[in-house]
Amino acid sequence: MKDIRTVGVAGSGTMGAGIAIVCARAGFDTIVYDTRADALERAREQTKAFFGKSVARGKLKAEELPGILARLKYVTSLDALSGCDLVIEAVYEDLKVKHELFSALNPLVGEDTIFASNTSTISITEIAGGSGRDDRFVGMHFCLPAQLMRLVEMSPGLNTSEKTFERAWAFCKALGQNPVKTQDSPGFILNYFLIPFNNDAIRLVEQGVAEPADVDVAIKTAMGYAMGPFELLDLIGMDTVVLLCEAMHGLTHEQRATCPALVKRMIAAGHLGRKSGRGFHSYGDTKMFGA
């Protein structure tokens, strides 16, 4: 079984772009796929800005930058992922969309190619069941923002082979990430706690208990979090938040996982978060977090 050298990332949104940064920075040839050329261009520009800021802050040597950027390729053709040793999916939290992606990709790649999903709520076994290679499928949930956070939740499906999981785990370590093993359970570790917690924070605002900025200050100051819940929600994006809530509630029927009405009103108003320049907070630009 050959080493993982070339990585495909399907989806160029906030998570996909961040995962691609992690892979290219660690020395892997990285191909970012999306059906939307404008989304790919936005990811490319955000990535350049992020690495430029890394150089300016002394976190990356200037001479390393050309090599990293050269390892990144952006494509709109699924065929371009045919030579990948691992493909990480980072598309919408919709089982049908994920199945369509993997079923189309399966005949294009080699027998040893591993499929991974960055899902944070949907069952790995269910996604793998529509992939055509459920024994070579693993959950790899990168934490947001992937380019800054080191944690990855690694989850085997019921049919994931031991060799596949070990190979994916070794790859994760080669990225410089800290993997933790979780079972294939709704929300894994982080979102099991985080989705209800964030929804509770939103309901505080809905009820007029406090403003988003004050909630963020309280949580960061008293609990030591790097970001407040509303800063994180704006980073995730309201359009993604509603999908996460719907997926989590559909699996658990937990009332606290139900999407607050305020989120849907914000989507209708175009207040998606950092990506649109306004969410619970307002932003002067739509640069990638950390750039």
Integer CA distances (angstroms), 189 to 13, 152, 153, 194, 251, in order? 23, 11, 8, 9, 15
Choosing from 12, 120, 198, 199, the catalytic residue is: 120
Work out whether strand 151-156 and strand 137-142 pair parallel, antiparallel, or are unpaired: antiparallel
Residue owning tokens 């660690």 = 26
191 is an active site residue: yes
120 is an active site residue: yes
Choosing from 118, 126, 131, 141, the catalytic residue is: 141
Cα gap 221→212, rounded to integer Å: 14
Label residue 262 exposed, middle or buried (CB < 10 Å: 0-12, 13-18, 19+).
Answer: middle
141 is an active site residue: yes
64 is an active site residue: no
Choosing from 89, 126, 153, 231, the catalytic residue is: 153
Which residue from 128, 170, 179, 147 is spatially nearest to 18, judged by alpha carbons? 147
Cα gap 118→140, rounded to integer Å: 5
Choosing from 12, 118, 123, 191, the catalytic residue is: 191
Catalytic positions: 120, 141, 153, 191
